Structure 1
Amino acid sequence: MTWNLRYAPHLGYRPPFDPLFRATVGSDDPVAHIEFARDQGFAGALYAAARGRTVDEQHRVGEALANNGLEAGCLLYTTFDKLRTTMWAVDTRDARDAIAAELRLAIDVAKRIGAKRLAVLGGSDPARPMAEQHAAFIRNLRFAAEIAAPAGVLLCLETLSSKSVPDMLLQHIADAYAIVRAVDNPAVRLIFDTSHVQIMDGDLLANLEATWDAIDIVQIADNPGRTEPGSGEINFESLFRLLHRLQYRGLVELEHGWLRPGIVSERSGLALLRELDAAATRPFGETAGDDS
C-alpha cells in the first residue's frame, strides 16, 4: 500500500496506553503493532510513552522498528506523571539541573528506539504572569538545545488545550511559534496537533501555514473527543491536501482514540484514512467526483 503522506500509529500515548489498533492486532505487544504498521504500509510508529517503559521493551521496540524499516515518532521527554511540573517556567539553576537530568534520560531512551524527536511540554504556575514564565521557558530551551543538538535530537514544543490539560505553558500555536523564533536554535521545533489547535485557535489551515517553517511533527486527532478522523468537526481532507501541497515529508502521527472502540471502528477508520490520503493529491476545490 502506497500512501501520499507518512503515517505513524501510536503504541499507546496516554493512560491506559492501549495501542491504536489493539482490537485488530489482538495484543498489547508493541512489536506486533510495529509489524502491523509495516503490513499496512505505514512509515513509522509513535512510541510516545517510551520513558515509562522498561529498558528491555525499549530495546525490543527499537530493534523492531529498525528491522521493519519504520521511523520512530516522537517521545515525551519525561514520564507521564511529570508532564505538569513547572521547571521549564522557572529561571533558576535548580530548574535547569532538573531539565538536564530529564533530557539525558530521554536521550538514552531515544537512542534505544532510534527516535530523533522529544516532545516538550511543561506546566505553568497560575499565580505568576505568563509572560514571565514564557521568558524563563525561552532561556531554558536555549540551555536545553545545547544538550539536545549534540545528541542529534530535536526538542519539539506542543500546545495543549486548556480544556483538556489546564495550567500548561503553551496553549496557543502562535505563542509556541513565537517562542521557537525567540529561541532561534534549529534544535527547537514545533508539533502541530490538530485537536489542540482546533480547540484553542481554530482555523487549522491558516495556522498551519502561518507556523509552517517551525513545524517538524504533525499529530492528528478529531474534535471533540480526540477520536479518529471523520468522527468530529475537522476537515482532514483539506488538511491532507495542504500538507501534500507544502510537500510535508515528516510523520503524521495518529495520536487519537476511537469514538466507539473495537475492531469495527479500527477497520472503518483505516479505510477512511486511505480515502482521505488518496484525496490529498487533488487540488483545492476539486471533489472526488470531478473528472478533471
Structure 2
Amino acid sequence: MNRSTFIKQGFLAAGAAVTANSLYGYNSSSSKMADTTFKLNYAPHDGMFKELAGASFLDQIRYMHDRGFRAIEDNGMSGRPIAEQKAIGDLLSKLGMQMGVFVLDKGGNGANTLATNNKDHLEIFIKGCKQAVEISKRCGGKFTTVVPGDFHRALPIEQQTANVIDALRRGAEILEPHGIVMVLEPLSDTPDLFLRTSQQTYLICRAVNSPSCKILYDVYHMQRNEGDLIKNMELTWNEIAYIQTGDNPGRKEPTTGEINYKNLFKFLHEKGYKDPVGMEHGISKPGKEGEERLVQAYREVDDF
C-alpha cells in the first residue's frame, strides 16, 4: 500500500469513528465501530452502563446498541413522564431495538393481591392494565410484568387460584386487542408471595387461556425455588413468553454463580427464542471495569 492510500484510509477510519460517536451521543473510549450483535436478544436496563455512557438513559441505550445489544427492559417505565416514555420509544425505533418488559402498576407486588378477590385491589389492577395499553403505545413495549401478590393463609389455595384466574382473565380482555402480553412472574423474594413455581404459573396461564397471559421465566428466581432449569422450561415452554437472567447466588451477571448459562442460552437459541432476555441483575464489580466485565460475561455465555 502506498503512503497516500494509507493516509486516505486512515482519515476515512477516523471520520467513521467520529461520526459514530456523534451519532451515539456519548464519548466512547474506543475508535472501533459497533460490536457485533449477540446471538440472543439480551436486554440491559437503566443504570447498567451509567459509568461508561453517562446518567442519561437515552445515552445508555445508544451505548448498549454500540456494544451489540438490540433490546432493553425497564421495570420503572410506568413511573416515567409521558414525554420520556415516548422519547425512549422513538430512540428504540430509530436504532432498531426492542422494548422488553415494564411492570404493570397494580399497587405493589405483595399485600395488594389478586388472590383474595378484594374489590379495591382488583380495580387497581384493571386500571393498571388500561394504563399499560397507553404506555405500550408510547414506548413500543408489548410485555408487562404482573405479580399476583401475597398468599392469603385464611383461604384455601384452590380458592385463591380461582380468584387470580378470574382477575387475569379480566386483564387479558383489556390487553389482548392491543397485542400486549402480561407475563406472570413467580418469585423467590419471600415465601409470602402467591406465585412461586413455573408449574403453578403454567396451570394459571392454561386456565386463563389467552395469548395475553403467559409466563415470565426468571432464571435466578427459578433456580432458587425449583432448580432443574432446562427440564422445567421444556415442560412449560408453550406458555413461556419472556426470559430474565441473574446468576445464583448473588443475582449478578452470568459466570459469577452456579448456573451454566452457556448451556441454558444454547437451549433458548435452539428453541428459536427471539424476544428479549432481560438482564435483571446487578453487576459484580463497581465502576467502568464492572460494566466492561458485564459485556465480556455475556460474550462468554453467548459463545455456544
Shorter-chain TM-score range: 0.7 to 0.9
Q: Give yes or no for the alignment of 1:153 onto 2:180.
A: yes
Asked if the contact 1:124/1:133 (under 8 Å) is kept, the reply is no
Q: Which of 45, 53, 67 matches 1:40?
A: 67
**How far, CA to CA, are the matches of 1:170 and 1:93 in structure 2?**
20
Of residues 140, 146, 149 in structure 2, which corresponds to 1:123? 149
Matched, 1:23 2:51: yes
In 2, the alpha carbon distance for the partners of 1:130 and 1:263 equals 47
Q: Given residue 35 of structure 1, which amino acid in structure 2 is its aligned partner?
A: R
Q: Answer with 235-244 or 36-45: which moved more.
A: 36-45
- Look up the SS of the partner of 1:217 in the other structure: strand
SS at match of 1:211: helix
Structure 1 counterpart of 2:221: 196
2:303 aligns to what SS in structure 1?
helix
User: In structure 1, how many angstroms separate the alpha carbons of the residues matched to 2:149 and 2:168?
Assistant: 14
Cα offset, 1:57, TM superposition = 1.6
* Per-residue Cα deviation, 1:129-176 (whole angstroms, up to 9, x for no partner): 333212100111111100011122111100100xx2342221111101
| TM-score, normalised relative to structure 2 | 0.84
Report deviation, 1:90: 2.7
Matches within 5 A, 1:246-257: 246-257=271-282
State how far apart, in whole Å, the 2-side matches of 1:227 and 1:41 are: 20
Q: Residue 80 of structure 2 aligns to which amino acid in structure 1?
A: R
- Unmatched runs of 5 consecutive residues or more in structure 1: 12-18, 280-292
State whether structure 2 residue 278 is matched by structure 1 residue 261: no
**How far apart in 1 are the matches of 2:124 and 2:293?**
44
Instruction: Kindly indicate whether residue 106 of structure 2 is the aligned counterpart of residue 88 of structure 1.
Output: no
The worse-fitting range, judged by mean Cα deviation, of 166-175 and 203-212 is 166-175
Provide the rounded CA distance (Å) in 2 between the counterparts of 1:56 and 1:125.
37
The yes-or-no answer on 1:114 pairing with 2:177 is: no
Structure 1 counterpart of 2:22 = none
Give 1:102's aligned residue: 128
C-alpha distance 132-86 of structure 1, shift in aligned 2 (>3 A): farther
One-letter identity of the residue aligned with 2:108: K
- Aligned residues with identical type, % of pairs: 34
Kept in 2: contact 1:86–1:125 (CA 8 A): no
Q: Tell me the equivalent position of 1:290.
A: none
SS at match of 1:190: strand
* Partners of 1:85 and 1:32 in 2: CA distance: 36
Q: How does 1:232-247 map to 2 (within 5 A)?
A: 232-247=257-272
**Alpha-carbon separation, structure 1, partners of 2:109 and 2:284:** 26
Q: TM-score, normalised by structure 1?
A: 0.87
The 2-side partners of 1:276 and 1:126 are apart by 40
1:34 deviation in Å? 1.0
Tell which deviates more after alignment, 81-90 or 118-127.
81-90
SS of the equivalent of 2:78 reads: helix
Q: Could you report, residue by residue, the CA deviation over 1:266-291 in whole angstroms, capped at 9, with x for unpaired residues?
A: 21221121121121xxxxxxxxxxxx
Question: After superposition, where does 1:156-195 map in structure 2 within 5 Å?
Answer: 156-161=183-188, 164-195=189-220
1:9 aligns with 2:34: no
User: Does the CA-based 8 Å contact 1:75-1:118 persist in structure 2?
Assistant: yes
CA distance in 2, matches of 1:273, 1:125: 36
Task: Spell out the pairing of 1:203-222 with structure 2 (5 A cutoff).
Answer: 203-222=228-247
How far the C-alpha of 1:247 sits from its partner, in A, is 1.3
- 1:202-227 Cα shifts (integer Å, max 9, x gaps): 11111111111111111010011211
Q: Find the aligned partners of 1:276 and 1:118 in 2 and give their Cα distance.
A: 27
Q: In structure 1, what is the Cα distance between the partners aligned to 2:136 and 2:108? A: 18
* Alignment map for 1:66-85 (pairs within 5 Å): 66-78=93-105, 82-85=108-111
Between Structure 1 and Structure 2, whose CA radius of gyration is higher?
Answer: 2
Check the 8 A contact 1:20/1:256 in 2, yes or no: no
**Which of 175-184 and 91-100 deviates more?**
91-100
Deviation at 1:92, TM superposition (A): 5.2
Further displaced range: 221-230 or 253-262:
253-262
Number of residue pairs matched by the alignment: 268
The CA distance in 2 between the partners of 1:130 and 1:122, in whole Å, is 13
Aligned partners of 1:51 and 1:109 also within 8 Å: yes
